[in-house]
Amino acid sequence: MSTCRNKDCCCSAGPLTISSEPGEVERNDGTALVLRIDNMDCQTEEALIRNKLSGMPGIKNLSFDLMQRKLTVIHSLKDIKAIECALASIGMNPVRMEDVDSPPSPAGYKEFILLGIGGTFAVLAEIVTWTTGREASWPVIVLTLLAIAVCGIKTYKKGWIAVKNLNLNMNALMSIAVTGALFIGEWPEAAMVMVLFALAEVIEARSLDRARKAIQSLMALSPEKAFVQQSDGEWTEVEARDVAMGTLVRIKPGERIPLDGKVMIGRSSVNQAPITGESIPVAKLPGDKVFAGTINGNGSFDYRTTSDAGHSTLARIVRAVEEAQASRAPTQRFVDRFAKAYTPSVFAAAILVATVPPLAFGYPAMDWIYRALVLMVIACPCALVISTPVTVVSGLASAARAGILIKGGVYLEEGRKLKSLALDKTGTITQGTPVVTDVIPLSADEAKGLRIAAALAARSDHPVSDAISAYWRVHANGLPLDEVSDFSAMAGRGTRGRIGEHWYCLGNGNLADELGMRDAAIGTVLEKLEAEGKTAVTVCDESQALAVIGVADTVRETSRKAIADLHALGIHTLMLTGDNTHTARAIAEKVGMDDVRGNLLPEDKLSAIHEELARFGMVGMVGDGINDAPALAKASIGFAMGAAGTGTALETADVALMDDDLRKIPQFINLSARTASVLKQNIAVALSIKALFFALAIEGAASMWLAVFADMGASLIVIFNGLRLLKNG
């Protein structure tokens, strides 16, 4: 058993001393202490830890990440030694995460060597029994005890800890079953059961390591070294984790990019598939963003880092996937609740089987005790419990590789239930980079309208304003922009500001109506532009409209295919946009959407989501993660477009599409359906095998070693079935 590392600590109650503990994070609900526990492999250890810590004073919440063997304790203690001692008392070996410099190590070859030795003793015990016909001869007893000593000491230690803490986990059940077999004289079988159980544990640990590596491999995409410019101008190779933000890094042809940054000198094409899932390399010019983990093409360039190693886009993706798989999906919560009731129920049934038939009906006691021991082996819910986390983490890792960042197992599992999808227009269905197509003057001074519009547009970051600013730069002939004071944005309508002594407005048709500027002539111009699928913007002074500017945004090439794929999945599509209804309808018809609503303010989009939820139940919303925040938050699942370049979207969305490809949404829904199917398969397999052996045990047709073998087989079936999701992205 592990002992507490703190020599001055007593595991019993005692006064807490005030100390400053490194590696802890202050939160609103307490202090978060993150520990890695290398011998915390599955829900067996989780239940033991939860039972031990949950009742301790000062412990507010526990969060488990079994794949990475991490435990997060939210507490209000002044000294964490009590936590370390409590964990040590149940055989756990906690290490603070800041002291960890490597991922969890996989099961080593030492276990297989011990299994080989113990297995040899068990087989020899079977051979001696078969050749002599005596199960209780001293050679059989010695060989059995040797086999159990080599392969079962760890199980007995864990089982004793569990029993002391009133926890009926699989180690406790197996210890009781093997001890019972020895008690009734089933010596060779007791040895074989313990060896098979130890073998199952090692194989299961190896299999789970594959799921762990699916996440670790994401972080391994980022190289450990970076070629950086020093303060004296010299270029030196250093550890990537030591590179500060703002450092100049040089990338050679074919190299992986170690940190996020912005290209300063040179040009190349970069394979961004590890981050965004894009199959075609993306051209990079000065001013363009690059991401850690992506692969440079044939060119060479220098770029300035915009984050350190711990805060790169890739690092945030890895953290998000880890946090997502640590949260319980609906099926996983159901399985956990079922397992809590299943194990004690089967254990109680085993007690009844061992006592009722002999005492009530006079049946042979040893025969029914043996059947009860088989039931105890069956009571281990390992295959059932392990089936869900392996499946969920495989699905999350598969999605991340494809450039789809899913922020929780619940979204992965529930995505297949979407019935309606609402999509913002600008930057989602369209490119989001509109250009000016028409400038129609309405006053005697033809140039004035464009000049005023450019001055107001320069103060806004709306895509339409960017288009007007870009158009002005080309056609200004070197003229400076007018100074704007008292600038303000009017949500969903436009902008307003003062130039000199006069007020001016730049906005859509709604603003023109609001100001009473729409007359027959202006109405005709607006309707013509909107009918052509363009956004019509009016610039006005205090008394009249000065010009109407037509702006068009091109539809993404992938949008039509994405909408068609969504319809094939039976999903209703709805465009929500602040643009005018004519333009919105023209774009919607181009891509084949079912419904469209224009002239919407942010609160109108929220109301539309409310209506869709009432009509369809499960509704998704696609936007940029910032401007559409209320609607994204209200939707069943919020999708953020182009999250690789937007930290806010990456942090806030339920599902973040790392590039601007809408086809990833049907891909996500299909992955959700596959995940749900695998979860159902795994649960069905685990329960069917348990039910079969329950019946066989009652009939006396099942042996203990066969029950262990079946349990091991069921665990491996559900693990490898879950790992199938890692294939084909």
Helical (H) or strand (E) element with 721: helix 704-723
Place of tokens 């806010």: 648
**Which residues sit opposite 575 in a β-bridge?**
423, 596
Q: CB 595: neighbour CB atoms within 10 A? A: 15
73-96 burial, b if ≥16 CB within 10 A, otherwise e? bbbebebbbbbbbbbbbbbbbbeb
The gap between the terminal CA atoms of the chain, to the nearest Å, is 42
Chain centre distance of CA 48: 26
Query: Three-state SS for 597?
Result: strand
Residues in Cβ contact with 371 at an 8 Å cutoff, skipping those fewer than 6 apart: 353, 354, 697, 698, 700
Dmax (CA) for the chain in angstroms is 117
The pair of structure tokens assigned to 33 is 């202490």
Catalytic residue flag (residue 424): yes
Distance between CA atoms of residues 52 and 59, nearest Å: 11
Q: How far is CA 98 from the centre of its chain?
A: 22
What secondary structure letter does DSSP report for 9?
Answer: -
Q: Which of 424, 541, 624, 661 is catalytic?
A: 424
Our measurement of the distance from residue 385's CA atom to the centroid of its chain's CA atoms, rounded to an integer in Å, reads: 20
Distances (CA, A) of 660 to 631, 642, 729: 19, 5, 18
- Long-range contacts of residues 15-24, Cβ cutoff 8 Å, at least 24 apart: 16/77, 16/78, 16/79, 16/82, 17/78, 17/79, 18/78, 18/79, 19/78, 19/79, 21/79, 21/80, 22/96, 22/98, 23/96, 23/97, 23/98, 23/99, 24/80
The angle that helices 187-219 and 382-401 make with each other, rounded to 10 degrees, is 20
Q: How many whole angstroms separate alpha carbon 55 and alpha carbon 45?
A: 16
Cα 454-462-447 angle, rounded to 5 deg: 15
495 CB-side CA count, 13 A: 23
Rounded Cα distance, 258 and 263, in Å: 13
Q: 647-661 as b/e, with b when 16 or more CB fall inside 10 Å?
A: eebbebbbbbbbbbb
Whole-angstrom Cα distance, residue 458 to residue 501? 19
Which positions are catalytic?
424
